Structure 1
Amino acid sequence: MDRPKQLIGVIDVPGKARDALAETIARDGLAVFAADRADELPADVALVVAHARAVPREDWAELNARLPTLVVSDSRVEHELIEAVDAGLVDYIIDPLRHGQLLRRMIRKAIELHRLADERRRDQLRLEELNENLETHLAMLRLDQQAGSQIQRKLLPPRPQATGGVACDFWLAPSLYLSGDFLDFQRYDDRYLLFYFADVSGHGASSAFVTVLLKYLANRWLTEWDGQAPEALAPHWLGELNRELLDTGIGKHATLFVGVIDLERRYLHYSLGAQLPMPLLVAEGEVHSLPGEGMPVGLFPDVGYPSLGCPLPENFRLWLCSDGILECLPGDTLDMRLRELERRVRASETLDDLRGSLELGDLPDDDEAVVEDGPGHEALPDDLTIMMLSGFGHADS
C-alpha cells in the first residue's frame, strides 16, 4: 500500500511565480496547498515553504513556532529574507525554481528533522514521567527500609549490659539500611547465659528477613529448653536453623556462632557454622582462636554441627566479628588480615578501642542517626559487626 503524500503548504502572493513554485515542489510525490496567508493552510500540513515577500515581519516568529518552515527568496539582499532570518528561520533557498531538486531534498530533510525532534520531545516527556515515578517509588522504598531498620534494631539486645558478672557490648554498622548481621545475648536462669552471632549471606532486605526469622526461632527454642545438657543446645540450634532455611527455599545461608556460658563452672559450650573470622579469646595478654569448624547453615541438608567447649578464665575478653571487618584491615592475603585482627584485638581493652583502630572515619557510634539520615555506612564495603563479651567481675546492669 502506497504511503499518503505529505502535504506541503506554500505561502506566496498569487500569480505565475507561486504556481511555478508549487509545481516545482509537487514533483517526487509531494502534495502542495498554496495560500496567501498561514491561517489559510489546512491542519495536516507537514511543512511550509514561505516566500520572503509574502510574510509580514511580525508573522515570521509565529509561523516558525507553529510549523517547520523553509524560506525561499529570489535574491540574497531582499530585506524580507533578512527579517525571516532574524526571526529564527535559518533554512532558506535563493532562486528556488532553478534549484528545484535541492528544494525538494531540503523539504524532505526538514520534515524528517522535525519528526525526530517531535520524537525526542515525546521521549523526554516519557523519561521525565518515568523519572518522577521512579523517584516516588524510591522514596517509598526508602521509608520502608527505614521502618525495617528500626524494627531490626528493636530486636537487638540492649548495649552495653552486664549479667552474671559477664558484660556484653556490640557495634552493628549496616552498609545499607538493613543488615544481614545479627546477634543476641540473654540470660536463661541463674546459671546460664546464651548468645549467638550471625552473618547472613548478602545484605539488605532479604538478608534482614532471615535475621528476623533467626530471632523468632532462637526465642522459641530457648523456651523449649529445659536447662539440661547445655553442651547439646548450640549444635541443636544450628541443625534446626539449617533445616528451617533449607525449607524456606529463599536461597540464603549464614555463618553462625552459638554459645552457652555456664556461670557456675565458668565454662563456654559452643558450636559454629563456618564462622569467619573465628572468635578470638583474650586472657592474660594472650589471644587465640577458639578451636573447631562446622558447615555453613542453610546450604546442605542433614548437616551435623560440633559440640565444643572451653573453660573461661577469671578475666577474659571474647571477640566476635563479621567478615566485613576483614575489608577494613591491611594485608594482601586472608592470613595476613587475620593476624592483623589478632594483633589489634590483643591491644584493645574495649569495643571502642578496636573500632577506633580500624580507622573507619567519622562513623556514628549508634546507628539511629544512620537510619534517620542516610542509607547506611556507605563507606563500608559490607555490613560490619563487632561483639565483645568480658567477665567475670562486672556488676549486673
Structure 2
Amino acid sequence: MAEGRQAEARVELKFGAIQKVLVVDDSRLQRRILKASLKKWGFEVLEADSGDAAIEICADDPPDLVLSDWVMPGMSGLDFCRAFRALDNDQYSYFILLTSKSEKQEVARGLDAGADDFLIKPLGAEELRARISAGARILDMQRELSEKNRIIESALKNLRVAHDAIDKDLIQARKMQESLVPELTGEFGKSKISMLLKPCGHIGGDLVGMFSPGANRLGFYSIDVSGHGITSAMMTARLGGYLSSNHFERNVALQKDGDKFYALLPPEQVAEKLNSLLMSDTAVEEYFTMAYATIDLRNGLLQVVQAGHPHPLVLRRDGSTEFLGQGGLPIGLLADASFQKVETYLQPGDKLLLYSDGFTECSLADGSLLDEDGLRRMALDCAHGRSGSEFLDDMFWRLTQEMAPGGGMDDDVSAVFFEYN
C-alpha cells in the first residue's frame, strides 16, 4: 500500500497529467520491456497487441499517453493513430510512435496522422522518460488551458443569461419610455406639430412633448438629459411627469385659471421651476438642456426659452431662416440660475424646428460635424414639398446618410417641428 502511494506521488511529481499509459505492440516481449519501465516509474499500464484491440480500449477508457509501434499486422500504428484521433474524447491524449523510420518524409506522415512525438528503436529508458516528461508538460498546459476555457465558457454563459435578462428589461423600459410620448403628431386648428425621437440605444436621454390646455394655446419642448443609458432614461421619465400632457394638475408649465381651466406659464418661469425642482433633490446629479416654446395660435406670438439647448430654427415662408435664443445655462447646474425668453411672431406658413445636439454634433464622413449651417441646409432641402412627420423622417434619413461610415449613432436624436397656419 505504502509503495503504491509513493509511486502515485512520483507520477504526480514527475509526469503531471500523464498517469495512465497504453502500450500497443504486436511483440509481447517489447510490451513486457516497456511495461516494466513504466510500472517502475509509477504509471498505470494498459496493453494491446493490435490497433483494433487498442481502439476498443481507448473507446471505453482513454489513456493519457499512447506508446504505439508503427509496423504491426492489420492496422498499422499510423492507421491506429488516425483512428485514435477520430474518437470523441473529452481530453487530449499524447501519442508517441515507436519506429525504426527516421526519414523526414516518414516523420511528416506520422505528424499528419496525429502523432505528437517519435522514438527510434531500440528504445533507451532515459530517452523514453525524457519524452514522456516533455509530453506531460504539454498535456499539463493543454489541460490547464482547457480548464480555463471551461471556466470562461461558463462565465460567458452566465453573462449571456444576465445580458438577455437586462436586454429584456431594456426593451420593456423602451416601451415605457415611448409611452411618455403617446402621439408623435398633433393638429391644433390649421397648425400642426410633429415629433421625432430616436435613441442611440435601447433607451435614451432625449424627450419631446406637447400639451394644449385650451383652444389657441400650445406648449411644446425638446429636452436632452446629460449622459446616456438607464440613469438618463429615468430622468426623462421624471421630466415627462413634470410636463405631463394628460395630468395638467401635475404639469409645472401650467397654472390653474379658475376651477376648470389652466393657463400657460411664461417659458422662463417654467425653466426656473424645473431648475428649482432639480436643485432641491440632492440625490440627482444629472442636468438637462431644454428648448421650450409657447405659441398663441390667434396671432402667432412665439415665446421661447433656450436653456443650454441648440438654437431653435425658424423657417420663414419666404425662404429666410433665423436661429433664436442666446444659449443660456442648462437646467440643474446652478441654484440661482436665471433664464430669458425670446419673442417673435410667426406668420402663416412659417415653421419652427426644435432639435437636440444629436443633429448638430453628428460626426460626418469627412470628420467634421453637421453644425448649425449643415442643419439649416438640411432643413431647407427637406422643407421643399414635405411637411410634418415626412419632413422629420427625411431629416433623420439624410443625417444617417451623412454620418461617418460605420460610426453609427453615438447620441440620441430628437426634434419637434411646428407648422403655423
TM-score bracket relative to the smaller structure: 0.7 to 0.9
1 CA distance for matches of 2:38 and 2:185?
Answer: 91
Percent of pairs with identical residues: 20
C-alpha contact (below 8 Å) 1:157/1:185 kept by paired residues: no
Q: Note if 1:102 corresponds to 2:127.
A: yes
1:203-218 superposed matches below 5 A: 203-218=228-243
1:83 aligns with 2:76: yes
Return the alpha-carbon distance in structure 1 between the equivalents of residues 170 and 38 of structure 2: 67
Cα distance, 1:254 vs structure 2: 1.7
- TM-superposed CA distance for 1:262, in Å, is 2.7
Distance 1:24 1:151 in 2: 70
C-alpha distance in 2 between matches for 1:24 and 1:95:
18
CA distance in 2, matches of 1:11, 1:389: 84
For 1:56 and 1:14, the matched residues in 2 are separated by 11
Q: Report the equivalent of 2:273.
A: 240
Once superposed, what is the RMSD of the aligned Cα atoms?
3.8
- Verify: 1:390 aligned to 2:405, yes or no: no
Instruction: Please name the residue that 2:204 is paired with.
Output: 179
CA contact (8 A) 2:199 2:412 kept: yes
Q: Does residue 341 of the first structure (1) align with residue 367 of the second (2)?
A: no
SS in 2 for 1:310: strand
Q: What is the aligned counterpart of 2:49 among 41, 51, 55?
A: 55
Query: 1:290 corresponds to which letter in structure 2?
Result: L
- Please, which of 318, 327, 340 is the counterpart of residue 293 of structure 1? 327
Letter of the 2:78 counterpart = V
- The match for 2:64 is 68
Query: Aligned AA for 2:97?
Result: Y
Shift in Å at residue 240 of structure 1?
3.3
Distance 1:328 1:317 in 2: 26
CA distance in 2: counterparts of 1:157 and 1:10, whole angstroms? 72
Which residue of 181, 192, 217 corresponds with 1:192? Answer: 217
Is 1:261 aligned with 2:300? no
Question: CA offset at residue 256 of structure 1?
Answer: 0.4
Equivalent of 1:31, from 30, 33, 42?
42
Amino acid at match of 2:415: I
1:214-363 equivalences in 2 (<5 Å): 214-219=239-244, 220-222=250-252, 225-226=255-256, 233-246=266-279, 247=281, 249-276=283-310, 278-283=311-316, 284-326=318-360, 327=362, 337-347=371-381, 348=383, 349-351=386-388, 352-353=390-391, 355-356=393-394, 359-360=397-398
Superposition map of 1:1-20 within 5 A = 4-6=9-11, 18=32
TM-score (norm 1): 0.74
1:333 to partner: Cα distance: 5.2
Q: Does 1:121 align with 2:151?
A: no
2: CA distance, partners of 1:17 / 1:154:
79
**1:141 and 2:166 aligned:** yes
Q: CA deviation at 1:306?
A: 1.6
Letter in 1 for 2:220: F
SS at match of 2:163: helix
Match of 1:160 in 2: 185
Match of 1:375 in 2: none
Q: CA deviation at 1:323?
A: 1.4
Q: For residue 207 of structure 1, give the secondary structure of its aligned residue in structure 2.
A: helix
Could you tell me which amino acid in structure 1 is paired with residue 127 of structure 2?
L
CA distance in 2, matches of 1:344, 1:92: 74
SS at 1:387's partner residue?
strand
Deviation of 1:383 after TM superposition, in Å, equals 1.9
Q: Are 2:306 and 2:326, in contact at CA under 8 Å, matched by a contact in 1?
A: yes
Q: Distance in 1 between matches of 2:225 and 2:304?
A: 19
| Count of aligned positions | 353
Q: Which has the higher contact order (CA 8 A, sep 6+)?
A: 1
Q: Per the alignment, in what secondary structure is the counterpart of residue 223 of structure 2?
A: strand
TM-score calculated relative to the size of structure 2: 0.71
CA offset at residue 286 of structure 1?
A: 1.3
Cα deviation for residue 280 of structure 1 reads: 0.6
Whether the 8 Å CA contact 2:267–2:341 is kept in 1: the answer is yes
Contact 2:77 2:97 in 1 (8 A): no
Q: Could you report, residue by residue, the CA deviation over 1:269-306 in whole angstroms, capped at 9, with x for unpaired residues?
A: 22121112x11112232110013221122333332222
CA distance in 1, matches of 2:143, 2:75: 27
SS of structure 2 residue aligned to 1:309 = strand
Please say if residues 72 and 92 of structure 1, whose CA atoms lie closer than 8 Å, have aligned partners that are also in contact. Answer: yes
SS in 1 for 2:214: coil
Distance 1:32 1:155, change over 3 A: closer
Gap change, CA 1:80 and 1:304, over 3 Å in 2: farther
Q: CA deviation at 1:24?
A: 7.7
TM-superposition CA deviations, 1:91-127 (whole Å, max 9, x none): 1345677522221122122223333333343334333
Q: d(CA) in 1 for partners of 2:179 and 2:28?
A: 85
User: Take 1:286 and 1:261, find their aligned partners in 2: how far apart are those partners?
Assistant: 20
Q: 1:91, 1:16 → 2: CA distance?
A: 15
Give the aligned residue type for 1:59. Answer: A
SS in 2 for 1:177: coil
Deviation at 1:168, TM superposition (A): 0.3
Between the aligned partners of 2:268 and 2:366, the Cα distance in structure 1 is: 33
The one-letter amino acid paired with 1:31 is G
Residue 388 of structure 1, CA deviation: 0.7
Q: Distance in 1 between matches of 2:159 and 2:22?
A: 47
Conserved 8 A contact 1:185-1:194 = yes
Structure 1 residues 298, 25: closer, same or farther in 2, change over 3 A? farther
Read off the aligned partner of 2:148 and give its amino acid letter. Answer: D
Cα gap change, 1:353 to 1:143, in 2 (>3 Å): same
